[in-house]
């Protein structure tokens, strides 16, 4: 019963993150925050799985490293978009512009 609760919490967190991501948001920063929330819930799932199977935790450290790199790339894209467009609204982006 306790293991079911351990698995239920990250799954609920993942579903909440996906619902936040697919909802209609107008700021890029809120989308990046919901993506980081999804990554953290996936990390919690991986950590519980590796702990349950008595495996090493090296994969979780690699996962955290790649998720930090993903977050840094997202913030750099956000900064470049704000510098070029002046804001982070999705409606102000023009896909046809070079």
Q: What is the pLDDT of residue 82?
A: 84
Q: What is the pLDDT of residue 57?
A: 83
Side-chain half-sphere CA neighbours of 25 within 13 A: 16
For residue 20, give both structure tokens.
């936040």
Q: What is the pLDDT of residue 19?
A: 94
Q: What is the pLDDT of residues 38-94, one digit of tens each?
A: 999 999 999 998 888 888 888 888 999 999 999 999 999 888 888 887 887 776 666
Q: What is the pLDDT of residue 35?
A: 92
Sequence-distant (6+) residues with CB within 8 A of 19 are none
Sequence ranges of the domains in the chain: 2-85
pLDDT band at 6 (very low <50, low <70, confident <90, very high): confident
d(CA 45, CA 68): 17
Q: Which fold has domain 2-85?
A: Helix Hairpins (1.10.287)
């Amino acid at each position: 019963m306790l293991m079911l609760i351990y698995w239920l919490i990250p799954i609920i967190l993942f579903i909440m993150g996906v619902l936040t991501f697919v909802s209609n948001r107008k700021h890029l920063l809120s989308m990046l925050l919901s993506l980081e929330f999804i990554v953290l819930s996936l990390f919690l799932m991986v950590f519980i799985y590796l702990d349950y199977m008595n495996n090493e935790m090296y994969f979780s450290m690699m996962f955290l490293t790649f998720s930090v790199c993903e977050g840094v790339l997202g913030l750099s894209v956000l900064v470049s978009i704000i510098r070029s467009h002046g804001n982070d609204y999705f409606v102000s982006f023009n896909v046809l512009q070079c």
